[in-house]
Amino acid sequence: LVSFRSMFALLLSSAPALLTPIGPLCPFRSAACSLGGHMDGHISRMSSTINPSFAADMARLQLEMQMGQQPDRTQVKELSERMLAAHSEWEALIGRWKLSSDFQTREYLAMTRCQAESSGVGLEDMGQLVRWQAECMQAFARGSVPPMPPAGIDMDRVAANSQTGSGIGTMFAAQVDAEPLDPSLFDSPIVRNEYEALVRDHAALIRLGEKYGGFDGLGKLAFLDQVDVIESRWDTFFARASLLYAVRPAFTEQCNEYMRALGLNDSHGFRTLLDRSHDFMRVEAERERR
């Protein structure tokens, strides 16, 4: 006979995969990533520039060119200026990330790097390409000759991957801020206590991660192991909530929008990206041990 524990484990494994509050979706913020901080300021200014209306205007511009129509030069100039403003914020943000000792900040950097590489363009190359594209648009608006592409970048590969949807700011193009769980889920004291313990442990880990850069290689690896444990606990908790139909539809829809903004098909793609980022950080930690 199949044990109750085995049957429950089977049900959990068959529950729909959901995004959980991990990685860039973590609601707990370190001091470096807190609301109103330097990072939040760069992201807010970048997001206000590269917003849905900007994406729609760029798509309309590309469609007009594909149909052989002459784009409005004034609009092209305005879009190029917005793109350069976003690029400036992006460069400042990446610079701060590289100098930070905070784990959450370094995780953002690792995810952005892995996302860029998955589209066939390195992180530094992506910034160069955005600036080049903006300068080409400005040249069109002036009626002058466009600049040459950045040296050392395979433009054929860039063109082949241009439909993936990833690029500067896409990790912040959509927000997941809807309440994920139905309050009735917490009518059970057991569930409520488990949730509160998970929230408490995750928040404490984020605070500890503010000193991540000061850990030695073994310390960094141990910290990443604890991150894996927290992620597994959230997976289990949300799988149970899903089986009880306690995950709110608004949260699920925002998760889908977020994944589309990242150019990902489903939550498995998001978890793969996050796992690759943590693997990258593990390689860095292993290198410090030598």
The confidence score (pLDDT) of residue 38 equals 65
**Quick check: 59 pLDDT over 60?**
yes
* More confident position, 12 or 194: 194
Q: Where are the alpha helices (DSSP H) in 177-266?
A: 189-208, 217-243, 249-261
263-279 mean pLDDT: 90
233-256 mean pLDDT: 93
Mean pLDDT in the chain?
83
Indicate the pLDDT class of residue 170, thresholds 50, 70 and 90: low
The confidence score (pLDDT) of residue 4 equals 40
Q: Is 50 left (phi over 0), alpha (psi -120 to 50) or beta?
A: beta
* More confident position, 78 or 163: 78
The confidence score (pLDDT) of residue 153 equals 79
b/e per residue 94-107 (b: at least 16 CB within 10 A): bebbeebebbbbbb
**Quick check: 2 pLDDT over 50?**
no
206-231 mean pLDDT: 97
The confidence score (pLDDT) of residue 22 equals 94
pLDDT in tens, 60-95: 888 888 888 888 899 999 989 988 888 888 888 888
The confidence score (pLDDT) of residue 247 equals 94
Determine the Cα–Cα distance for residues 205 and 224; give it in Å rounded to an integer.
Answer: 10
**Quick check: 248 pLDDT over 90?**
yes
| Contact status, residue 202 vs residue 26, Cβ threshold 8 Å | yes
92-112 mean pLDDT: 90
Residue of 88, 85, 82 lying closest to 58 (CA atoms)? 82
Indicate the pLDDT class of residue 162, thresholds 50, 70 and 90: low
Determine the Cα–Cα distance for residues 54 and 80; give it in Å rounded to an integer.
Answer: 10
* More confident position, 53 or 4: 53
The confidence score (pLDDT) of residue 117 equals 82
Counting beta carbons within 10 angstroms of the beta carbon of residue 79, is it exposed (0 to 12), middle (13 to 18) or buried (19 or more)? Answer: buried
207-216 mean pLDDT: 96
Length of the chain: 290
* More confident position, 72 or 14: 72
137-152 mean pLDDT: 90
The confidence score (pLDDT) of residue 9 equals 44
The confidence score (pLDDT) of residue 86 equals 82
The confidence score (pLDDT) of residue 141 equals 92
Q: What is this structure's pTM?
A: 0.78
The confidence score (pLDDT) of residue 182 equals 96
Helix axes 267-289, 217-243, angle to 10 degrees: 160
* Percent of the chain with pLDDT strictly greater than 90: 44
| Contact status, residue 167 vs residue 130, Cβ threshold 8 Å | yes
The confidence score (pLDDT) of residue 125 equals 83
Determine the Cα–Cα distance for residues 267 and 241; give it in Å rounded to an integer.
Answer: 16
34-51 mean pLDDT: 68
